[in-house]
Amino acid sequence: MSNGQRSVLVVGSGPTAAMAALALARSLPAIRVTRLDEGGQESSAEGFGAGRPSIRAFLAGLGVDEAEIVTRTRANYRLGTRITGLSATPYFRGHGMYGEGVSGVPFHHLWLRAQRCGTVAPFDSFSISARLASHSRFAAPSAQRESPLSALDYGLQLNLPVYGQALRSLGRAAGVEELHGNIAAIIKCPDGGSLHSVKLTDGRELTADLYVDASGCMGRIRRTLPWRWIDWSTALPVDRLLYLLQPADRAPPPNDELFALSDGWRYESRTQDVTVHLLGYASAHQSDEQARAIFRNETGAEPQGESVVLRQGRLEEPWFGNCVAIGSAAISLEPSAATNLHAVCRHLGRLIGCWSGHNTRETTVEIAYFNRRTALESNRLRDFVQLPYLLNQRPEPFWRAAAATPASPELSRDMALFRERGRLAIHDEDSFERDEWLASFLGLGVIPRRIDPPAVELPLSRIEECLSQISAGMRRLMEIPR
Amino acid sequence: MSLPTHRNGDDTPRLRVVVVGGGTAGWMTAAALAHVLPTQCSVVLVESEAIGIVGVGEATLPHIRAFNERLGLDESQFMAATCATYKLGIEFVDWARIGDRYLHPFGSSGRGAGGVGFHHFWNRARLLGLSAGQFGDYAISVAMSRQGRFAPPAKPGGDLAGAYNYAYQFDANLFAGYLRRIAEPKGVKRIEGRIVGASRDATSGDITDVRLEDGRSIPGDFFIDCSGFRSLLVGETLGEPFEDWSQWLPCDRAVAMPCRTEGVLSPFTSSIAMDAGWRWRIPLQHRTGNGYVYASAFVEEQKAMDSLATAVEGERLADPRVLRFEAGRRRRSWVHNCAAVGLSSGFLEPLESTSIYLIQVAITALIELLPEKAVAEIDRDEFNAVIAVEYDRIRDFLILHYHATQRRDTPFWSYVGTMAIPDSLAAKIALFRDRGRVEPYARGLFLEPSWLAVYFGQHILPGDYDSRADGMPLDRLDTALRRMRAEVDQAVERMPTHADYIASHCAMAGAHP
């Protein structure tokens, strides 16, 4: 163990860098944290502020008061995403649980059995998150097991620039040193496998034990070392984004919206003050001009700036030597499944676990662990984002082509297993709740050919009773005036 | 909704399931299928009284409770019927060094803080020279075991007093009989007979029926091979290859010999290292099971028998019996229309009492993946994936016990202490040695508390700890550790002895409390 104070240099100007600096400073108080801010905007591929429940866990883990962040940054609660136009009926991909099973039978098999025997309310209607969202309401989860609200979970819709500011000020209070300057050169160690220092244009030279690249998809410093990007463009066709941040025109609903269009999708999310409009499309199917026309048509407004180029994929080894890429420097995914902030939270949690020893230089064992687990997680995120493309029911060439692209062996097997038996295989580092996978499969219209055998043994009356009890509980809840 | 006239709303006839073999695996499978899926399958079980059952796995893991619960078994009645005792963990004696003793408890040690596991605090205290005691000193089940006490855990809360679970040690022969008495009234048809072969469909290769010595043939749609080591259907008939793991797990014999229970009735199973393997000690109500699991390459059979006879504490109740086996598993457990459950699918020595657990995993998967008359490839693949992960992860955990020895006093211990280990295990150990991290997995047995117990119990000590544990000043750490140890001791003081608890809750017939 070394007695010298360990130091870390975080490079980046956006929320990812602010999160990284704050998390390192709060979690590892003995280390010296410096954040280098080169100014300018973080690439918008960073994400548009949609956070899964992991963002709340992240804040709570750092002792940051969620209510205060929501009030101060005028954020919004986020129960999930309503998805329209991919299958016959819109569906909701919500956080939290979708009903409870009985006698060892998972809930969705109760639902499937009832569905097979006659009409049953949509799967969504058994999700408290979906119910609340459909009434544009929000409530905090309950600790009372009998309350439908005990199944609730939620994320946050953040206004990223304001959120970034709030975290930067918390970071300063936690001892983060902030430097503003521009990088003139990144100096490698003679072995070529690690960084020696970062030279600024004003002549300053910064050194650290660990360099955290939180600079966005350009990978400002991590790129200096051996760097291989694994391209996912075959699986995920969208490679262009148009966006607009508008002042809010109404009270925000507690969910975001995804609309499938003939050559891509439109996405809308709201904080208290700002509405985010996004258009995702594939340059192979649509020109930028066509996309701008569609954007205007859909939103009634002009997009901000030019189209953003999206290179979906992941970095093979996010951590190399003494430099680790996090957030969109390590993984780039379209924002349709709110995976961007989530990846930042996961990367930071893992990084702190792996860099929590007393040596200045991290061991290859920890680095290998970080890269191995991050790869598993990233691939699973990709699979989740790809699922709606593979299972969509739209006729247009863009969508037919997307449905015909190959899936990973794991996802192919998952789809086959669900189609046949309604069963979900278990995967390591899966970021999504089982109910989110179920909501996706069922929402996209996949009805398994067979039902869980134990569910077949349950008397239908018992199942009906169980389903109507859940519905009644939710109805009673909705009758309470807001 | 209208009520369907048939299950599934169709006329699918019941799947004719034939269970081959009536030991623990056979009767657990038959009872579970008949109880959980009564309208979807008919169950025939073929067994021969002439063939004895192995009856290994007298010691179980806490998962058995979920199995019993699903079958609606009453705990006291079941325990009385199988002369069962409670089990809080497994004690390992002389493994890393002669004179060592630690418990792998069904429960966790200590209480962490701020998202940092307790073992980092303990390791910090140890590295800084505080008197932190043994890792197990912070586990309630360890204290209960040391003092021979038992009480079921209260509802899990934050306190250490509730941080444990329990399993049973029972007579596997009695368990099979008990399950038979439950299964037959539920419709399981038992056929007495010795199987001589199986017929297969010329086109598909599926098994169509099993043939008995007396000329009868038992047809079925789906066959479950519970024939034990012989692996009659999956191994012999279908020729599924066996993956041999004896290079890492060289023990290939066991000599078993029950004796009278004497002294304190331990609420745990013991695994005591011997010159060429290890010896189990499983205290039941009516006897104590003993056995020496050894590697025939390192000790003669007679010598093994003699060593066992010398070691057992009480009066012998039967002559020693030798079992032969090979560590490993069938590459696939489910082939064509036949799934292996239990020893026919593979064998891992009973060092961590995993035999019945593996049976249970297979049964659960079979229930969820009950095939149609024509088996779908995807059912088979999923079943085989589930089983393979379980076997492979248990394998690594077992190898750890041998690899982490410092003993070089016999050729056997020298061999296992220096042999090459699977890469998957080497990576886990490297990660732990580095900073005490246990690689998590979403599927499979043995989670962090189990790995910690064995690592620490066998002196694999990380050179560093999570620096977030530095946040607590040393004097406060010292106080916190003392307080936790006191909390454990106080909770145990109030508990009855294991023997008293059994006498008042689940004594076998004819027992005199």
A184 touches chain B (CB under 8 A): no
* Dihedral over Cα of B318, B323, B329, B334: its sign: negative
pTM of the model: 0.94
Say which residues have a Cβ less than 8 Å from residue A28's Cβ, sequence separation at least 6.
Answer: A6, A352, A355, A356, B467, B468
For position A135, what pLDDT does the model report? 93
Q: Do B368 and A450 touch (CB under 8 A)?
A: no
CA nearest to A430 within chain B: B442
Whether residues B70 and A104 touch (CB distance < 8 A) is answered with yes
**Taking CB atoms and an 8 Å limit, are B8 and A451 in contact across chains?**
yes
Question: Is residue B261 predicted with pLDDT exceeding 90?
Answer: no
Report the gap between the CA of B66 and the closest CA in chain A (Å).
10
Spell out the residues 6+ positions from residue A253 whose beta carbon is closer than 8 angstroms to its own.
A133, A136, A270
What's the pLDDT score for residue B158?
A: 66
Please state which CATH class domain A7-76+158-232+312-379 belongs to: alpha beta
Q: What is the mean pLDDT of chain A?
A: 94
Note the pLDDT tens digit of each residue in B318-366. 888 999 999 999 999 999 999 999 999 999 999 999 999 999 999 999 9
A452/chain B closest Cα distance in angstroms: 6
| pLDDT tens by residue, A29-40 | 999 999 999 987
**B chain contacts of residue A417, beta-carbon cutoff 8 Å:** 378, 382
Q: What is the mean predicted confidence (pLDDT) over B446-465?
A: 96
Beta strands A274-281 and A240-247, pairing class: antiparallel
B226, B210 contact by CB (below 8 A) = no
- In the CATH scheme, what architecture does the domain B14-58+171-243+326-392 have? 3-Layer(bba) Sandwich (3.50)
Closest-CA distance, B306 to chain A, in angstroms, reads 46
Q: How confident is the model at residue A360 (pLDDT cuts 50, 70, 90)?
A: confident
Distance (Å, rounded) from C-alpha A96 to C-alpha A433?
8
Test B464 with A357 for CB contact under 8 angstroms: yes
Question: For A427, how many CA atoms within 13 A lie in the half-sphere containing its CB?
Answer: 25
Strands B89-93 and B269-274 come out as parallel
Longest dimension (CA), chain B: 79
Partners of A119 on chain B (C-beta within 8 Å) are 1
Q: Which of B267, B291, B287, B289 is nearest to B279 (CA)?
A: B291
pLDDT surpassing 70 at residue A27: yes
pLDDT (tens digit, 9 = 90+) per residue, A251-298?
Answer: 999 999 999 999 999 999 999 999 999 999 999 999 999 999 999 999
Closest to B188 in 3D by CA, of B71, B338, B362, B31 = B31
pLDDT tens profile A158-172: 999 899 999 999 999
- Both structure tokens of A27: 């979690």
Per-residue pLDDT, averaged over A323-345, amounts to 96
Helix crossing, A340-354 with A364-391: angle to 10°?
A: 160
Beta-strand (E) ranges in A189-340?
195-200, 205-206, 210-213, 229-231, 240-247, 256-261, 264-270, 274-281, 308-309, 313-315, 319-320, 323-325, 331-332
Mean pLDDT of B18-23: 95
Whether pLDDT at B274 is above 80: yes
* Residue B227: partners with Cβ closer than 8 Å, 6 or more residues away: B20, B21, B195, B233, B344
Q: B155 pLDDT exceeds 80?
A: no
Chain B interface test: which of A24, A27, A372, A468 (most B C-beta within 10 Å) = A27
Q: Do A229 and A59 contact (CB within 8 A), yes or no?
A: no
Minimum CA–CA partner of A415 in chain B: B378
Report CA-CA distances (Å) from A278 to A222, A295, A303, A382: 29, 8, 9, 19
- Nearest by CB to residue A453, choosing from B4, B368, B385, is B368
Identify the pLDDT of residue A372: 96
| Residue partners of A237: CB distance under 8 A and separation at least 6 | A282, A284, A285, A389, A398, A401, A402, A405
In chain B, residues with a C-beta closer than 8 Å to the C-beta of A1 are 464
Q: In 10 A of CB B353, how many CB atoms?
A: 24
Active-site residue B87, yes or no? yes
**CA-based nearest residue in chain B for residue A102:** B70
Q: Where are the domains of chain B?
A: 14-58+171-243+326-392, 104-166+422-496, 255-324
Return the residue matching tokens 């073992």: B119
**Residue spans of alpha helices (H) in B71-223:** 75-81, 118-127, 140-147, 172-183
Query: Are B464 and A1 within 8 A, CB to CB?
Result: yes
Share of chain B above pLDDT 90, in %: 86
Tokens encoding B305: 């028998």
H or E element at residue B322:
strand B321-324
Q: Tens digits of per-residue pLDDT, B470-504?
A: 988 999 999 999 999 999 999 999 899 999 999 99
Whether the CB of A457 is below 8 Å from some CB of chain B: the reply is yes
Neighbours of A301 (CB within 10 A): 12
- The pLDDT score that the predictor gives to residue A1 is 41
Tell me, what's the pLDDT at A136? 93
Mean pLDDT across the stretch A65-69? 96
Which residue matches tokens 């050729």? B411
Number of residue pairs across A and B with CB atoms under 8 Å? 105
Residues of B within 8 A of A114 (CB-CB) are 1
Give the gap in angstroms from C-alpha A23 to the nearest C-alpha of chain B: 12
How many percent of chain A have pLDDT more than 90? 88
Q: Tell me the per-residue pLDDT of B156-181, one tens digit each, with 9 for 90 and over.
A: 666 888 899 999 999 998 999 999 99
- Which chain A residues touch B430 with a CB distance below 8 Å? 365
Alpha helices in B248-354 (DSSP H): 301-311
Query: Which region holds residue B223: left if phi is over 0, alpha if psi is between -120 and 50, else beta?
Result: beta
Whether B183 has a pLDDT exceeding 90, the answer reads: yes
Interchain pair B8, A456: CB under 8 A: yes
CA gap B46, B193 in Å, rounded: 6
pLDDT recorded at residue A2: 45
| pLDDT of A339 over the 90 cut | yes
pLDDT interval class at B5 (50, 70, 90): very low
Give the H/E segment covering residue B403: helix B377-403
Q: How far apart are CA B513 and CA B504, in angstroms?
A: 8
Q: What whole-number distance in Å separates Cα of residue B124 and Cα of residue B42?
A: 58
H/E element, B105 = strand B101-105
ipTM attached to this prediction:
0.93
Q: Which residues lie below 8 Å from residue A359, measured CB to CB, with a gap of 6+?
A: A1, A2, B464
- pLDDT at residue A48 in the model: 84
Q: Please give the Cα distance from B350 to B56 (Å, whole number).
A: 8
